Structure 1
Amino acid sequence: MKKLNLVCVVLLGLIMLAGCGNKYEALPIHEDVDICAICNMQVKDDAFATQLTTKDGKNYKFDDIGCMNKWKKQNGTENIGMDYVRDYNDKEWIEYDKATYVYDASIRTPMAYGILNFKDKTSAETFVAEQGVGKIMNAQELATHDWKQNTDMMQMMGEDGHMHEGMEDMGNESNMTEDSSHK
């Protein structure tokens, strides 16, 4: 009888543990079908992709954190179960509130919002030190950020207004704009 009770307790514990997983896990990006919920551009499987899942289970993907912010302004945040950004260095999904951000208007991002995401402050500080540009922010500071697109960069991007081409090496100074008036 004691063995049966022990087995029942262990099974109950395992069932409870299985239910403790994150209800709103980040979903993989599928470039062939994923379209940004705001700008309708292709969502690349890169460091700029972001996503959120509403409490009712609907998932929205974005090609740039600026597009995700625009969605939040249009739809509110009360119904968001979880929102994710990707680490700039290794593309690991990070909860939006736990990430550290770097902003500079000269940083090239898909929709020219100039914000990069990092999983920790040290990585963000390293990027700023290496590039010589950038303001480090947390999620609370990002909430009061002035979300303007760099219109000069948008013109540089061409007619489709999308910056994904050739962005694999975005952190290199050769990919940064020379115009310091936007810093």
Structure 2
Amino acid sequence: MKKWTVALMIILVVSALTACGATKYSALPIDESVDVCAKCKMLIKDDAFATQLTTKDGKTYKFDDLGCMNSWKHANSSEEIGMDFVRDYNSLEWIEYSKASYVYDASFRTPMAYGIVSFKDKQSAEAYINEQGKGTLMSATDLTSHTWKQNVEGMDMDKMKDHSHSEAEHA
């Protein structure tokens, strides 16, 4: 083959790969009146604790608690996950799971009682620890070696702190 033919083929292959680009994933809204957790099948009642993941083939799974998403990941191939998201506890903003900061305490009331609250940054997580007077700061990497146990006493959502947000707060 001539050098210019090889060069042209390389240019075409690089152009084709560049055109494909990386797949963009985005979180979907939670409808608290109809969305159910893909793991425990309970209604996602408190949007502040909602999590979700999208597989590489575009299927989205929603969860009511980070512990449910973790359980789903262990039961399924994590290689198929395109992106996973958690909510910032304060703003309800969707953030990538790997970029979030987390606070754990077994006594924290979360929908399925795993006791983990997610935040958009380390400063917000530390402020929550100071406000609550307890909690362990964790990263997504720390969660890989976390002991995922439910605090059965913490599953009473009626006793959970009101964490409702009006639409105006998040517009």
1:139 correspondence with 2:140: yes
Distance 2:161 2:51 in 1: 16
In structure 2, stretches of 5+ residues that fail to align are 1-17, 165-171
Q: Which amino acid aligns with 1:109?
A: T
Contact 2:52–2:60 (Cα < 8 Å) also in 1:
yes
Distance 2:26 2:100 in 1: 16
1:34: which partner in 2? Answer: 35
Measured after TM superposition, the shift of residue 169 of structure 1 is: 4.3
Distance 1:30 1:20 in 2: 31
TM-score, scaled relative to structure 1: 0.74
1:92: which partner in 2? Answer: 93
Distance 2:131 2:21 in 1: 40
Distance 1:83 1:75 in 2: 14
Distance 1:164 1:46 in 2: 15
Contact 1:24–1:53 (Cα < 8 Å) also in 2:
yes
RMSD after superposition: 2.2
Contact 1:30–1:45 (Cα < 8 Å) also in 2:
no
Q: Secondary structure at the match of 1:78?
A: helix
Contact 1:85–1:117 (Cα < 8 Å) also in 2:
yes
Aligned length: 147
2:24: which partner in 1? Answer: 23
- Aligned residue runs from structure 1 range 71-150, under 5 A: 71-150=72-151
1:61 correspondence with 2:55: no
Query: 1:64 and 1:98, CA in 2 relative to 1: closer, same or farther beyond 3 A?
Result: same
Measured after TM superposition, the shift of residue 30 of structure 1 is: 1.4
Deviation beyond 3 Å, 4+ runs, structure 1: 19-22, 164-167
In the TM superposition, what whole-angstrom CA distance separates every residue of 1:39-71 from its partner, at most 9, and x where no partner exists?
100113521000000000000000000000000
Contact 2:108–2:154 (Cα < 8 Å) also in 1:
no
- More helix by percentage: 2
Contact 1:109–1:164 (Cα < 8 Å) also in 2:
no
In the TM superposition, what whole-angstrom CA distance separates every residue of 1:94-135 from its partner, at most 9, and x where no partner exists?
000000000000100000000000000000011111111100
Identity of aligned residues (%): 63
Measured after TM superposition, the shift of residue 21 of structure 1 is: 8.6
Measured after TM superposition, the shift of residue 20 of structure 1 is: 6.7
Q: Which amino acid aligns with 2:29?
A: P
Contact 1:29–1:44 (Cα < 8 Å) also in 2:
no
